[in-house]
Each structure stands twice: as C-alpha cells, then as structure tokens.
Structure 1
C-alpha cells in the first residue's frame, strides 16, 4: 500500500486523543515527515522522520521542507490544524507541490472573504455585515434584524460565536467576540461579522477535492449547547444519511468550492438546513475536528487518513463505502466554572455499542465556560448502532454513567465545594 518513493510532509500533529488515528492511517499510504515545534513523542511510530520548525512561521517551515526535499522525494503536504493550514499551503506553493492554493486557503480562513465570494457567486448564505466596533455592530443588527449571530472573522471551533437575541444583549456579547482568540490565527481591525440567524438543523460535510472535482465523504448532524454560545456538544454520522444523496446539497457544496477557488485538498463545510434550503455557514480548509472523520470511518469504512494523503499527492482518492452504520459522539461540559476533583467514565462495551469513553479532564484541572474559555469538556462517549435513533439512545445511556466530582469556581469570591 505504501509507495516506495513518496514522502508527505505533515505540518503540526495536533493532540494524540483527537488526531492520532489520522497519522496512523496516513502512514499506511506514504512515508510521513513531521514539521513541528517539538520533537515527536506519541507521533514517532507513524513517522519516517521529523524536523523541528515553528509551524506558524511559513519561512521556518519552508526552510525545513526544502531541507527534507534535498534528500527525499517529497510528494505533498498534509495539515489538519486550523491555525496551520495557511503556512502549510505556503510550503506547498514554495515547493511546487499539490494542494489548495494559498489564495484558496485564505478564502476559507478569512470568513469575510468567504462571505464576499459566495455573495458574488449568488450562493445561499446568511445576510451579513463586517464591523469594527460596537456602533457598527448595532447598526448592522438593526439592518439585518434580531436575532443575529456575532462571529470573529478569523477564528474557528465556534470560539467567540454567539447568538444575540436583542439589542440589550449586544454590548456584552460583542465584547466576548472581540476578546476571543486562538494562537496562530490573524486578527483584524474590522474583525467581527454580524450575520442573520438561521433556524434549522446544522450539519457538516467533510469532502475531498481532486483536480477541481468535489466529492462528499461524511455528513455529520451537529448538536449545539451552552446558549447563547455555539459550543459543539455532539455529532452523529450515518452511512445512509439521505442528505448525502440530495442533489441540491451536492450542488451547493460543489459551487461553493468553485467560488472559493478550492481545487485540491480536504474541506469541512458547515451548513444549515433552513426553510429556504441549504445555507452555507462556513468552509474550513482541513478535515473536521471533534473526531468527526473518525466517526465517518467507523460508519462507512472510508478512511479519512488515506483520503487526505491521496489528495495531498494529487492521487484520485478511494471513497468506496464498505460499512453501513451510525456512529455518534457526545461531549460533556460542566454546569459551571469548576475545579475538577475526579471524572469517572464507563468501560467500553461493544455489546452496548459503547466504543469509547474518555475522561478529558483530571483532578486539579480548571474548566471555564464561555465566554472565559471554550471547548472546556470533561469527557466524551462514542457509540455506534444500526440506526440514528438507536445510536442516540446508546449515547444517552453512556452519558448517564459518566460522573464528575467538582469544586465550583467563584471567580470573585473563591471556591466552594460541590459534586
């Protein structure tokens, strides 16, 4: 399966819990060479080698990549970290390797550029305005009509995104959006989008683009919590989801990628299914997070690590499904800011469809909810079943077995005990 003369550069590796499955699969297809800030640890079994380089610094990455290319045949670049997809594209462009162009990645990373290009192409999206301050946000919200969504222009993972139901809520939530940050992503003077709120189910689609042709791989149904923020609390992927065969959805996805100039690579597109049809929320120029591609592989048999490497080398990917299951993940958040005393999770049990149950926090960890921090989860459970309803029931049962012992954090007055 592994080509004898193919090395793929991996820019950043993410965390073991959320990304090792990708490296493990990718290593079956090509020799992997990691470019990252530190020497590999858990990544080592999946690598042919590594070079220490600052992954957010394109010049540092390009020097490291050229050094590797001097002694090996480098065929592509793989990156699945939102903060690093732009420097990864700059490496590919500097070494004349396949992959999304720098312009295409910027068109995804900068949500205002995304909106402008989709507007010009006449594609379905929320009404929006780019604003620099509270006064402009207030004017935009009045023009669009409440409720509206505030969204930082350059962030990801729903950081700083909130639902503003009325003018009375705007000041505080605008400050939250302005304060949200993520290492390695750009900031802008006019850095907030005010968008029309669209009701309806939210979905995401991970897809492969090869020589300009877009093909969806997995469709995930999303669960949202912690209102007025948009924390992602769960996802479910079904191999036979009827939306995957919907021609209107396929048209929107293909035309969206054409409008963004995204001709080669992997993307994660978020949409809402509204009364007026499918509406594009955003496009990310990398595989989805939250183990969504892993859910997809369990549900369908399509391996996202293999697909990502194939596309990185401009090789036609194999998207043949050989499974037909439903898989889901549920993330658990504390009810308040807290210091963790203990987290207990049930044992995996294939007979019950519980494939994984993982504690993400341990004794002494502090978990702070939005707007103080985001993605502050203490555990997750991952289940599979034959149908979405059965999978949801198994997720509910597994979630009920997770236990969190905590000490609430009163950020003004100190801590008090609770369980």
Structure 2
C-alpha cells in the first residue's frame, strides 16, 4: 500500500522548518530530495572503502570498483539498455548532452540540419547552437501551441533528408507536458536521423525503456531521482557511441599512451576520463532501487492525484493563469497572478516556508512564446501531500492580497 506519511519519514529534510514554518517543498523539478538510505550509502563509501576505481589491486579499490560497476548495472536494467557499456556515467544531463554535441562536430557538415523543440531547457538548446556554429549546420525548431504541446504537423514539414539529429525533452521542465517521443523518434528514423531525448524531468515519474523507444541517446540526472547532485548518465546505442570521438582526454579513457600515439579504451571507458564521482554513482544506483521499491506505477497514480487536486484548487483563485494545459502532463504547474511579478510571489511564499521556483526555468523561449517574464512553478513529488497543496493555495491567496 502507498503510504505517503511513511514515505515522508525516509526524508530527513522534510522534518525541518523554514522561517519558522514547516517546510513545504514544491521545487522537485529543479532537484528532488534525498532519502536517508541514499545519504547513508554516500557516507558508507567515505567511511569504509573510499578509494579510486579500476586501477588498484588492493581491497578497497576492488570494493569501490565492484560497487561502482554494480550501480552501472542497476542503471542499465532500469532503463533496459541492451549492454552495460551503453551506459556512460557523467556529471549530469548537461554533461551528457554536451558529450554528444561535441562528438557530432566531426560528423556534421555545412548544409546538414538539426531539429530541437520550442520547449527545451537551455541545456538542450545552447550545445546545439554551438554545434551549428562550429559545423555550419542549420538549427530548426518544432513549434508549440498555446496548450504547451508540440505541433507535430510542423515537425513533419521540417523533417527531410538533410536532418541528421533531433533533440526533444521527454517532459517539459517548465510546463510538465509529456511529449510523444516514440512518434518523434520513429519519424526521425525514417529519414536516417539520430535522436537524443532529454529525460531529466521524466525519470522521477516514469521508467523509459530505451530499447522499446528505439532511441539513439537518452540522458538523465541522479538528483532528479532521489540521488545526489553531480551525477548523471548517457545511454547511447553501441553503434553511435563507437562513431563518436572521446569528449575528454586523460586517465581511464585510454588503452595505451606514448608520445607518438594514444589509443582509446573500449566502451564505456572511452567517455569516462578522470576520477569520477564514485560515491555519487554508487548512490545513484541506490536511489533507483529506492524508487523501484515504492513502485513507479504507484508514484504515477499518486502524483496524478496531486496534480489534479492542485490544478482544481489553484484555478479557484481569481486572476490566476496556468501555463501548460496539455491533457498529457506530469505533476508540474506553472502559473501567474494578474499584474504581479512571479518573483514577488515566490519571495512571500518562502516566508511561509513554501519552496517554489520562479523565473524562466532555463526555458526562456517558452516564456517568450507566452510573452511573460517567467512563472511561479510548483512541482510535486510522491512525498508531497494534499495538505501541503492547501498550504500553497492559502499562501498564494495571501501573497495576492499583499501585492495587489
């Protein structure tokens, strides 16, 4: 049985107060909170077997290596990658995207085209703009409509034999829209284009099956999934990872080094130069296991209840507008109050112990589309409650009265 009160006991931070009020944490789309179990895994590494991996013959190094590679296997199984070496461990989603973008500098030429969507995070826009500047390729954009959904008929129109890459987020961090990525991938493959899906916002809410999606690259971050910051993963099909050159040079990613020539290691080490965040990677695996112990189906059902409840309650406030009204969305609500800057509302909510995000959410093109400076974003996780949503609604009403 899903018991939110028992789940909340797993998260020490949910017991604290902010500005004298019980913490209401609704900034999960930025960073999810970390259960004690995962915190203990990090502490245990440093307390008991802190050592570098893949290099030492001593016991500590072997223990660390075994735990690190076991975590890679957990990630592989969770995302259903065909091979463990198709999982590249990185510092996060941004690192993963830049790794792929850098690799394609050697594969694109002037006249090639790449496609992104209008609702991307800056991390899935800027690297591709840099790639276009370096190669002469042209960037095209799938537009969105007022509901916050991609206009797929326009996607059909801009796909062509010139299209080499397509980049779309699985779920919009600013709007909560769940994009039809399987359709997007299938259509791109008809033209021989590779597809990268930014899964940072999706992975806390559902389990992507990379083989079923037939996606070429899928990226995610641990800190969105009850794990630590500074850790993420890149899934890549073996055929593509072998085509891409290394992103960084250094230790671990080499086979042999001489001053005449260096040869590179096999996958995945070819893309994993230097000493990684060992404790973080081990904790990433623990966080995935923790979320699976609760069950993603149970998480989905409960979070949808929170989304529906919050949407209804917030829409009862006069002068409140919600941005992103797709029928297929996850537990994110972006909204504004008429005539009031979102930053001012967020500041007052913080005084009440309520943590929301305000601004453009690193998705400035979305804000430009709606002609607004930003939004107030409340994003819910499986450890949040309807009572906390009631606190948010009352807080928004109070802020509205104070700022009108």
TM-score by length of 2: 0.32
Greater fraction helix: 2
Greater fraction strand: 1
TM-score by length of 1: 0.31
Larger RCO, structure (CA 8 Å, separation 6 or more): 2
